[in-house]
């Protein structure tokens, strides 16, 4: 599976050459490295982790560019959810619980999650 990343030469061009009207000072520069950030989801909207540089193709105005450095940034997530289970939430609580279950489905094995409820006291 290859993911295409497109750079915008216009961005580099905007920083690479600035010329004032009326013949004032001119600034020119070359770009050696452009950082490109990507977040990849599967067809269900879940993050895809563990991708390698070989999974990507980098194009600048349709011209392939080498990927000289690649980092896959995966962090462990710790999360606590506090559910209001008081009477005022009676009608909304089933939907809230379903949303929490969908959130839990997004967690990976190394992530940590705690779920608490309160109804006068925390449990």
**SS in 3 state form for the chain?**
CCEEEEECHHHHHHHHEEECHHHCCEEECCCCCCCCCCCCECCCCCECCCCCHHHEEEEECCEEECCCCCCCCCCCCEEEEEEECCHHHCCCHHHHHHHHHHHHHCCCCCCEEEEEEECCCEC
The total number of structural domains in the chain stands at: 2
Judge if 7 and 60 occupy the same domain: yes
Assess whether pLDDT exceeds 70 at residue 42. yes
Residue at 84 is within a domain: yes
Assess whether pLDDT exceeds 80 at residue 48. yes
Residue at 51 is within a domain: yes
Residue at 114 is within a domain: yes
The most confident of the ranges 31-40, 72-81, 106-115 is 106-115
* For residues 1-30, average pLDDT: 58
Judge if 95 and 55 occupy the same domain: no
Distance CA 116, CA 123 (A): 6
Residue at 70 is within a domain: no
Judge if 57 and 93 occupy the same domain: no
Residue at 71 is within a domain: no
Judge if 56 and 82 occupy the same domain: no
pLDDT tens per residue across span 4-15: 555 555 444 545
Q: What is the pLDDT of residue 28?
A: 75
Query: Could you tell me the residue range of the domain that residue 52 belongs to?
Result: 3-65
Judge if 19 and 59 occupy the same domain: yes
Do 99 and 64 contact (CB within 8 A), yes or no?
no
Judge if 12 and 54 occupy the same domain: yes
Residue at 29 is within a domain: yes
Distance CA 122, CA 77 (A): 23
Q: What is the pLDDT of residue 80?
A: 96
């Amino acid at each position: 599976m290859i993911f295409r990343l497109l750079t915008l030469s216009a961005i580099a061009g905007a920083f690479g050459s600035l010329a004032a009207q009326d013949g004032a000072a001119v600034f020119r520069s070359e770009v050696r490295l452009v950082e490109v950030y990507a977040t990849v989801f599967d067809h269900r909207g879940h993050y895809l982790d563990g991708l390698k540089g070989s999974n990507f193709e980098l194009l600048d105005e349709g011209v392939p560019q080498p990927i000289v450095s690649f980092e896959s940034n995966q962090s462990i997530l710790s999360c606590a959810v506090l559910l209001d289970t008081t009477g005022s939430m009676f009608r909304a609580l089933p939907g809230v619980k379903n949303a929490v279950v969908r959130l839990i489905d997004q967690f990976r094995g190394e992530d940590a999650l705690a779920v608490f409820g309160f109804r006068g006291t925390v449990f």
